[in-house]
Structure 1
């Protein structure tokens, strides 16, 4: 058996450490799809207290809404444009439920495009809401395609809405949202998008992608902290949503109406998270906006995948569908590999990775977003090499059957 001091592992272990240090002494990098590593100035913005009813905070909320509409391509802003932005307290799943419960009528019928845990969560949410729904489940490897959507819409005229996940982070797949939007519009249905882990980095321009609404969260590609999300929706849809919601707290129409009339959130807002988000928005714009953020994240992904490949790791997805948000890797077939130990060894080196969320194969995930760059990603690969060496794993190749299954499914896509 080849020694761990030979070959790719030895090369990675000999690579000089990068000079990019964690954002604060002792603080780890969060290589997850959010919460993620934030800039020091974003954290620092939370040191001030804000009055939720005060004029300064109301102005902050107005600017937040306007800035998000600009990123979404509605450059006329929330007074003259076709869309408006409605921030909502809570996690991303709260905002997804708010969008579904407010914008799908109680007699509506949703086609859910699922290829991972978050598409399935949408279906579960609709079941709780009592909304009729049909699920197109593509498994963990494959994206939903336009032709499939068209066939299902033709087969069932009762379907009123299509719900799609922009980036399915349980596998790291980037779904073809443009072709899905085109197919949905061609069939006269309305598209709702869960862009939780994509907006701010992956293009989502409402002038080019016909959608009724989409949702995202503060602690994803804008690189803020957890505490709220937002719904960006057509104003016509927001008007039609009056009286539709099953919930007072998650009523998007009511939140929108109160914000437009008073400038205030209906209930206690996450003031510190909003302040942090304003700084995150400033840094997003300073970096060059969505195109620059996409370029950095994509480079992070490419550096990571290349380095991990040298160690023998294989990504779950082929390059065509691999997002720049998070990469899923097959767990090594080596009998000495143990993910729980691998996780702890990575944590000791100040890298928090993510367990796999697949049902058919052992895997783990490494995020590419947040305040990290290619130097950090090289350090991640080096930390993986060190961890493997500690465990006595001399090569990280996955089971042959996993690679064969990936090939078969990739050909099918």
Structure 2
């Protein structure tokens, strides 16, 4: 392993393209100068197709979690009843945020590694008409599950006037998202995942229905007040000093996504998912999630005859490859491979080959090359 050679294969932060690094290293500009206004004027329309909305996208200089908290504090008042669908660690994070704001939380738990059933949520909502907002996670990063957000949105819209608020942090930009068509009211993502940037920006799109609720919300807020960002954005500005270097990088990532074409971006992520899953199946190593609910952006693997942490250690120390571990009760039981953003099928082939070598190092009996071959066959079949 070369000293400065690192391979980042975790589900965020993800690798940053060289052209984006160059864009971020441009000389600093004044955050109230015309250059920044022009930059925001260029950026904001290009974000809309990624979210699948005609609404303006609010940009906060903060982490993805701040975006989730902003969704809560803007759309829900103290003592309101909300339903939080928990399919993993980040659904649980929504619960913790709501609890901090003294919101009455109805928690709906789903076994980690499984997706939520829209029919089950339909039944729950029919029994609890007092619920004012439903919170869900599109891609549950901790398990690699992609929840059926389109179907969940339909259930919420058909049965109630409840707001539907979605954490899209680890998949927006890597999977098809149609906020307006599906009926999502608030959709949040972060910069360090499929958007191919360092951490530090969070993006939020808000429906007209949600704006009506937000306008009537008397809960005080300052930095996280969506209305401030909306009003400033109308003048191609921001209410507070933005992370200018990240905005310069964002301009470049949006150009890259536009050049590739969003459908091709989504297909690339789907191909990488299928390559990764085929590889581990060929190696007879169990996956945490079923194919039909698996995310195109991250894959969780649950070995049954070797230690996940031992493999991660060899990958990191001998090959410079970072894979993610499990969270909460899955800590030490799984490892996760991120394949999103600035990542291609070539990167997946390299990753699988390294993992096979590391498996051999820790004494796992495999046929070297079996996983790589399975991934190659997927790639050749898909032609991506």
Q: Which residue of 2 aligns with 1:182?
A: 154
5 Å-filtered alignment, 1:280-359, equals: 280-289=253-262, 291-334=263-306, 337=307, 339-340=309-310, 342-357=312-327, 359=329
2: distance between equivalents of 1:228 and 1:120?
22
The answer to whether the 8 Å contact 1:141/1:316 transfers is yes
2: distance between equivalents of 1:271 and 1:239?
31
The answer to whether the 8 Å contact 2:68/2:188 transfers is yes
Q: Which residue of 2 aligns with 1:255?
A: 229
1:241 is paired with a residue whose SS is helix
Q: In the alignment, which of 40, 55, 65 is matched to residue 61 of structure 1?
A: 40
1:160 is paired with a residue whose SS is strand
2: distance between equivalents of 1:222 and 1:341?
28
The answer to whether the 8 Å contact 2:308/2:335 transfers is no
Q: Which residue of 2 aligns with 1:26?
A: 4
Mark the CA change 1:213 to 1:278 in structure 2 (over 3 Å): closer, same or farther. same
5 Å-filtered alignment, 1:3-82, equals: 26-48=4-26, 49-74=28-53, 81=54
- Deviating above 6 A after TM superposition, structure 1's stretches of 4 or more consecutive aligned residues are none
TM-score (norm 2): 0.89
* Deviations, residues 149-184 of structure 1 (Å, cap 9, x unaligned): 111111111101111100101000000111100100
The answer to whether the 8 Å contact 2:308/2:334 transfers is no
Question: How far does residue 342 in structure 1 lie from its aligned partner after superposition?
Answer: 3.2
5 Å-filtered alignment, 1:262-281, equals: 262-281=235-254
TM-score (norm 1): 0.83
2: distance between equivalents of 1:205 and 1:253?
23
The answer to whether the 8 Å contact 2:14/2:194 transfers is no
5 Å-filtered alignment, 1:144-155, equals: 144-155=116-127
RMSD, matched Cα: 2.2
Question: How far does residue 321 in structure 1 lie from its aligned partner after superposition?
Answer: 0.7
Structure 1 residue runs of 5 or longer lacking an equivalent are 1-21, 75-80, 397-413
2: distance between equivalents of 1:71 and 1:380?
27
The answer to whether the 8 Å contact 1:84/1:235 transfers is no
5 Å-filtered alignment, 1:123-134, equals: 123-134=95-106
1:372 is paired with a residue whose SS is coil
* Larger of the two Rg values belongs to structure: 1
Question: How far does residue 350 in structure 1 lie from its aligned partner after superposition?
Answer: 3.1
1: distance between equivalents of 2:240 and 2:328?
37
The answer to whether the 8 Å contact 1:102/1:244 transfers is no
The answer to whether the 8 Å contact 1:217/1:229 transfers is yes
* Deviations, residues 76-102 of structure 1 (Å, cap 9, x unaligned): xxxxx5x23211111000001001110
> Number of matched residues?
363
* Deviations, residues 342-387 of structure 1 (Å, cap 9, x unaligned): 3343453232110112515711100111322222211111111211
5 Å-filtered alignment, 1:194-233, equals: 194-233=167-206
* Deviations, residues 257-279 of structure 1 (Å, cap 9, x unaligned): 2332x432222211111111110
The answer to whether the 8 Å contact 2:84/2:108 transfers is yes
Question: How far does residue 107 in structure 1 lie from its aligned partner after superposition?
Answer: 4.4
Structure 2 residue runs of 5 or longer lacking an equivalent are 368-384
* Deviations, residues 123-147 of structure 1 (Å, cap 9, x unaligned): 0000001111101100202221121
1:219 is paired with a residue whose SS is coil
Q: Which residue of 2 aligns with 1:373?
A: 344
Q: Which residue of 1 aligns with 2:214?
A: 241
Q: Which residue of 2 aligns with 1:382?
A: 353
Q: Which residue of 1 aligns with 2:379?
A: none
Question: How far does residue 324 in structure 1 lie from its aligned partner after superposition?
Answer: 0.8
1: distance between equivalents of 2:92 and 2:45?
32
Q: Which residue of 2 aligns with 1:168?
A: 140
The answer to whether the 8 Å contact 2:79/2:102 transfers is no
2:335 is paired with a residue whose SS is strand
The answer to whether the 8 Å contact 2:310/2:362 transfers is no
1: distance between equivalents of 2:77 and 2:294?
34
